[in-house]
Amino acid sequence: MQQLKWLLTISGILVLIAGLGAGFLDHVGVMYVAFLGFIGLLVTANLDRISEFKASRSGIEAKTREVIARAESTLSELQMLARNVGELTLSLVKRSGRMGGYSDDEQEKIKASVLEVLAKLGVAETELPNILGEWNRFIEFDYTHAILGGSTIPESVDPAVVAEWQALRRGGIAGIPSPEAIREFLTSHGFLTLELEEYIKDYEHFRTHKAHRRPAVWREREHRQRLKKP
């Protein structure tokens, strides 16, 4: 009997995870079916814990403090699972193919779907900055990548400047250079132009507000040219 309980519980969790993944990818109907399946399997696994049934006009009520407590605990764990799966989904979307992977519109659609599902599951808005943490770091990384001319070495510079340029890029997602550090590099080596200064302001704006200052310019980031002196 105990083995059957574990089998039903584990099956329910697997159904729930699959449903959350489908919901985050905009298949919300599948998520609801999976959630109902999860609840059904969980209840089936714990039928022996339900101490009283009561018939009413609205249906059948299962009354027991233990079941209620377990349901509240399950909801809390479900929200925690949803946060973790949501964060992982957003991270995978950003990592997938990087430039040339999902289009900006596709990324934003998936992000909106994830946030909608999390809201319906009762995840607090105060949790969103953590859930979107890596998503936003990838955007900051792409800003720095575009400002520094992509992967193309700056034009007509000596090895010391190239080494400094590479150092700014070496940290990856974990060590993204600040707008101030980029501005200082560009200024000290004569690369800073009015256009690049506006790009740096875009980057600063996103770091502060987590929104794009010039969405149309952001969409053209892949077409940035290598750094060169005016």
Lowest mean pLDDT, pick from 57-61, 84-88, 122-126, 164-168? 57-61
Looking only at the bridges linking them, the beta strands covering 59-63 and 52-56 are antiparallel
What are 162's two structure tokens?
């190239």
pLDDT at 204: 98
Query: Closest Cα to residue 166, out of 184, 183, 145, 188?
Result: 145
Mean pLDDT for the stretch of residues 150-173: 92
Helix axes of 194-209 and 179-188: crossing angle, nearest 10 degrees: 170
pLDDT at 64: 47
Lowest mean pLDDT, pick from 26-35, 83-92, 201-210? 26-35
Mean pLDDT for the stretch of residues 19-40: 56
Mean pLDDT for the stretch of residues 13-21: 59
Handedness of CA 19, 24, 28, 30 (dihedral sign): negative
